[in-house]
Amino acid sequence: MPIYNLTVNGKSMQVDAEPDTPLLWVLRDELDLVGTKFGCGIGQCGACTVHIDGAATRSCLLQVSSLESAKITTIEGISDDGTHPVQVAWKEHDVPQCGYCQAGQIMTATSFLKNNSTPSESEIRDAMSGNLCRCASYNRIEQAVAAAAKKLS
């Protein structure tokens, strides 16, 4: 198997994987970064969302062989201590119920807010619409994104 040099959460890491291995499984199985979740495996639910060069991307759809020059950020890389404004807003608005989708939701929200620091309600709803929540916490998710936007601006 080939060895790939990846930059994950600001650190250089080497992984030994088949070229078509999805990034999701490299993160979870090879690097023990289990905050990124498996949801559907076809890029539809958002549970596996990470940042690739700052953009929210589904890690289940990315082959490790295509990522050697990319900067990959997982939920573990958002902050060392859970104090990123989006994470704080999530706690303040008591967003998680089962919590399974939350890492992907937070990754989508942080990427979105980096590009739109003063979003409208409809912009938040549109930005977050690709992430599914089995518990239907959508109203609290939208409220937390709006609160985080205020904290970031």
Q: Tell me the CA distances in angstroms from 50 to 15, 104, 118, one per residue in order.
A: 18, 7, 22
Q: What is the mean pLDDT of residues 64-71?
A: 96
- Give pLDDT, residue 36: 97
| 10 in the same domain as 56 | yes
- Give pLDDT, residue 28: 98
| 73 in the same domain as 7 | yes
pLDDT at residue 1 tops 90: no
| 58 in the same domain as 27 | yes
Instruction: Give me the domain span that covers residue 107.
Output: 85-152
- Give pLDDT, residue 153: 87
Neighbours of 20 (CB within 10 A): 9
CATH of the domain at 94: 1.10.150.120
End residue of a domain, out of 30, 54, 77: 77
Q: What is the pLDDT of residues 41-60, one digit of tens each?
A: 999 999 999 999 999 999 99
pLDDT at residue 134 tops 90: yes
pLDDT at residue 129 tops 90: yes
End residue of a domain, out of 42, 77, 112: 77
pLDDT at residue 114 tops 90: yes
Question: Which candidate, 115, 100, 120, 108, places its Cα nearest to that of 40?
Answer: 100
